[in-house]
Structure 1
Amino acid sequence: MGKNKFHEGAGPSQRQLRVGETIRRALSEVLARGDVHDPELNRMSITVGEVRTSPDLKIATAYVLPLGGEGQDDLLKLLARNKAELRKQVAQKLTLKFSPDLRFQLDQTFDQMDETRRMLSQDIVRRDADAPDTPDEATEG
């Protein structure tokens, strides 16, 4: 039984987390400095929230969001169009044997946080959260 079978479903390894964070920083720097030769992409302020790598470190998925949240569809198209140059720029900042293939997805974390805040601000939820603990009706009697 191979080592990879043992780690399936166990979540990312420390190495994956470390490499993902290194790629996130490098990609953020490249995008912030406008190192890519695409004026449309350079006009956007982009947040790179997280980068997740595959177990073999050959694929890196960057979770991105344009500042203010507008232009999400354009952002993914621009990043895809400049993927090769971004990969090259990021690779120059890394000390990996192989440069991972970059993939891009919209970062839904902020939307989820906003939805959670909205739900928690509803009167009925606040009332339930503030209510003292009471015994469960099913266990009474």
Structure 2
Amino acid sequence: MAKHHHEGAGPSQRQLRVGELIRRTLSDVLMRGDIHDPDLNRMSITVGEVRTSSDLKVATAYILPLGGHGADDALAALRRNRGELRRAVTKDMTLKFAPELRFAIDDTFDRMDDTRRLFDRPDVKRDLDPAEDDED
């Protein structure tokens, strides 16, 4: 079976499946406080998405601390516990190898807020209002 790699193509079904499995497992590990770090266990961290590299060797978890505050502390705590998190996440998974875990801040909520603010601008509302078109 030949594999076709298209530049700019989205992630494969396998990448999406593995990413979602890692996301759920990582969320559970963090929620249960399985990691032996009191700083990390005090934080409430949401794992919004996990993206894997095409070879599944690297998994980047996009995280957001509850309320969006203390993002740098959350990243530092996750990075400090990367090895233990990797073992905890992959021990229940049937992958050939445990992917390297990387962490980044999930900024999708910021982008949604920006979009909402954009749609609230009077000039944009005017351009989007269908009633305005019928006034000829």
Q: Secondary structure in 2 aligned to 1:51? A: strand
Residue of structure 2 equivalent to 1:137: none
Post-superposition shift, 1:9? Answer: 2.0
Amino acid of the structure 1 residue aligned with 2:68:
G
Moved beyond 6 Å, runs of 4+: none
Measured in 1, the distance between the counterparts of 2:20 and 2:6 equals 20
Question: Matched residues, percent identical?
Answer: 67
Moved more, 122-131 or 26-35: 122-131
For 1:10, the aligned partner's letter is: A
Does 1:38 pair with 2:37? Answer: yes
The residue that corresponds to 2:97 in the other structure is 98
**Do residues 17 (structure 1) and 9 (structure 2) align?**
no
Structure 1 CA distance for aligned equivalents of residues 103 and 7 of structure 2 = 23
Unmatched segments (≥5 aa) in structure 1: 134-141
Computing the radius of gyration from Cα coordinates, the structure with the larger value is 1
Alpha-carbon distance, 1:3 to partner:
3.1
CA distance in 2, matches of 1:70, 1:35: 22
In structure 2, runs of 5+ residues without a counterpart are none
Alignment TM-score, normalising by the size of structure 2:
0.92
TM-score, normalised to structure 1, is 0.89
Number of corresponding residues: 132
Deviates more, 1:8-17 or 1:99-108: 8-17
1:80-119 Cα shifts (integer Å, max 9, x gaps)? 0000000000011211111100000000100000111111
Q: Please give the secondary structure, in 2, of the residue aligned with 1:104.
A: strand
Q: Over aligned residue pairs, what C-alpha RMSD do you find?
A: 1.6
Matched, 1:132 2:133: yes
